[in-house]
Amino acid sequence: MTPRRWVRVLLAAACFAFFLIYSLFVGGMTGWSFLEPGPARLRDSAGGLVIAAILGLIGIGGARLILGWRLLSPWLLLALPIPILFGIDALGLW
């Protein structure tokens, strides 16, 4: 692997880690509510869950673009588990 490729891999890993950790942070902030778990709490935290999903998409998409791979792929689905799990938690099903 060339040095240029190593730099790209390290930058892609940094982009991926930063945005997915930030997505986890934003998703976790949706759990801070005075409402009881249920549909009302899910509605209250919907905006944060959408932002968490977008941050995950940015992290995965940015890493793929830095590496020179095509943007649209099934790997983008990895952005969804964080908001889905926090949505389940907001519903009180966890």
Contact 23, 79 (CB under 8 A): yes
pLDDT tens figures, 39-60? 999 999 999 999 999 999 999 9
Asked whether residue 33 carries a pLDDT value surpassing 90, the answer given is: no
Burial class (CB in 10 A: 0-12, 13-18, 19+), 51: middle
What is the reported pLDDT for 94? 78
